[in-house]
Amino acid sequence: MKRIFAVLAMLVCVIGGITGILLLGNDEGDDVSTKKVQDAAGGDHGITEISSKESVNTEKKPVDTTETTEDAVSELVDKTMAEMSLHDKVCQMMFVTPEGLTGTDDVMVAGDATKQALQAYPVGGIIYFANNFDNVDQTRDMISNTQSYSKIGLFIATDEEGGRVNRIMDTLGTTYIGPMYDYKDDGPDAAFENAKTIASDMSALGFNLDFAPVADVWSNPDNTVIGDRAYSDDYAQAAELVGSAVKGFQDGGVICTLKHFPGHGDTAEDSHYSSAYVNRTKAQIMADEMQPFRTGIDAGAELVMVGHLIVPDIDELPSTLSYKIATEMLRGDMKFDGVAITDSMEMESIADNYGVADSAVMAVQAGMDMLLQPADLAVAVNAIVTAVQNGDITEPRIDESVRRILTLKAERGLLE
């Protein structure tokens, strides 16, 4: 109707020789309502809606910025990948300690050694432990400097679950949160607030990723490796609490990780030191162990950590090396489309039984996107590059994982 009135008015002007012309469009003097949309690189684009001063009623159609933002992320990822060599792409799939990156012990400072190492091996993420921290200022400087040396923004992570698995609470004096199991009867609000507190403290130091929450259920009372790290010994209760915790971590400003898929709570063994078995059928696991993983994924968890767990009913290989579990189960059955990361590849159940090179190649063939703490970074990277060159792994398979990694980084403002 507005356009029709404008045309009629202009015809009247021409016929009658009237000099007044109605101008339609944006005018700097109009009232403007502006909505800001954060783009993938961290900048702002103004989307302007004009509030008309004319008396004609105009119905405004809401502006859907989702597609625009997704397109910007995709374009940024495409541009970044086009500038990466195969070596760079494989390095992006590595998540290492600062010691594993630089080859030095007890790193507390990021200087020339870190800079040179990142130039040679542009890894995707750095995981820190308590031995890397002395005080708050030192920690912030180390993380900030490390980020500044990396062409592609790094995932900066630690294991900050609360309770006995914490790296900064006891070392740097951040807010102490007790064992997750202790809060199980306090309900989802407590799980949310605890996670948000942990995440907020981490974010203030420069961390952007936490290897938490534990989505395992303490279903085997003899299990000590998980125990009170779990949110509950009841599947349904754990599911409710883990879903709330995911939202808490996100609100606190860090990416979170569900672990240890497909569930470490029923094992008798500790996968740090030996092969750990889940002696349940896939049907039982899907009905029980998957409850917390399902609510966590539905809540938007960005990463899932796959454990070195052997499920004989599904495969004789550890889950991290099993296509049936890492791809068919996690991607297919659970519909997870985020980043899948291994548990530490230094654990004896992997390093001793399969070796650094073979386990790295097998993990990628199984469908893993990132390898956590390969025992030898150079050996792992070279093994995967060689496997691609030999045709044992396709480059599109590498690109699939790198695209997931970079997409998450772009969404979090870690790509420039």
Interval 116-167: pLDDT, tens: 999 999 999 999 999 999 999 999 999 999 999 999 999 999 999 999 999 9
* Structure-model confidence comparison of residues 34 and 173, the more confident one: 173
* Structure-model confidence comparison of residues 219 and 19, the more confident one: 219
Q: Count other C-beta atoms under 10 Å from residue 146's C-beta.
A: 23
pLDDT band at 22 (very low <50, low <70, confident <90, very high): very low
CA separation for the pair 373, 391 (Å, rounded): 25
Question: Given the structure tokens 């996670």, which residue do they identify?
Answer: 195
Chain segment 379-396, per-residue pLDDT in tens: 999 999 999 999 999 999
Does the structure show a pLDDT above 60 at 32? no
Asked if 265 and 223 count as a contact pair (C-beta separation under 8 A), the reply is: yes
CA separation for the pair 210, 136 (Å, rounded): 18
Q: Count other C-beta atoms under 10 Å from residue 106's C-beta.
A: 9
Tell me yes or no: is domain 80-411 CATH 3.20.20.300: yes
In the DSSP assignment, the letter for residue 62 is P
Residue of 71, 229, 91 lying closest to 165 (CA atoms): 229
Active-site option among 272, 333, 358, 399: 272
Active-site option among 228, 343, 369, 376: 343
pLDDT band at 68 (very low <50, low <70, confident <90, very high): low
Lowest mean pLDDT segment, chosen from 8-17, 154-163, 185-194, 347-356: 8-17
CA separation for the pair 53, 351 (Å, rounded): 71
CA separation for the pair 285, 279 (Å, rounded): 10
Lowest mean pLDDT segment, chosen from 53-62, 110-119, 257-266, 354-363: 53-62
| Catalytic residue check, 159 | no
Burial 363-383 (b: 16+ CB within 10 A, else e): bbbbbbbbbbbbbbbeebbbb
Lowest mean pLDDT segment, chosen from 13-22, 261-270, 399-408: 13-22
Does the structure show a pLDDT above 50 at 204? yes
CA separation for the pair 177, 169 (Å, rounded): 8
In the DSSP assignment, the letter for residue 119 is H
CA separation for the pair 146, 246 (Å, rounded): 27
The DSSP bridge pattern shows strands 44-51 and 31-38 to be: antiparallel
Could you tell me the CA-to-CA distances from 166 to 39, 47, 171, 206, 373 in Å, in that order?
33, 43, 9, 16, 18
Chain segment 74-133, per-residue pLDDT in tens: 999 999 999 999 999 999 999 999 999 999 999 999 999 999 999 999 999 999 999 999
CA separation for the pair 350, 341 (Å, rounded): 14
CA separation for the pair 222, 266 (Å, rounded): 9
Does the structure show a pLDDT above 60 at 236? yes
Q: Count other C-beta atoms under 10 Å from residue 40's C-beta.
A: 24
pLDDT score for 271: 66
Does the structure show a pLDDT above 50 at 56? no
pLDDT score for 25: 38
Percentage above 90 pLDDT, the chain: 78
Does the structure show a pLDDT above 50 at 7? no
Does the structure show a pLDDT above 90 at 258? yes
* Structure-model confidence comparison of residues 17 and 306, the more confident one: 306
Q: What is the mean pLDDT of the chain?
A: 86
Handedness of CA 338, 240, 176, 413 (dihedral sign): positive
In the DSSP assignment, the letter for residue 318 is B
Question: Given the structure tokens 């030191």, which residue do they identify?
Answer: 273
CA separation for the pair 387, 297 (Å, rounded): 32
| Catalytic residue check, 87 | no
CA separation for the pair 129, 159 (Å, rounded): 8
For the chain, domain boundaries: 2-66, 80-411
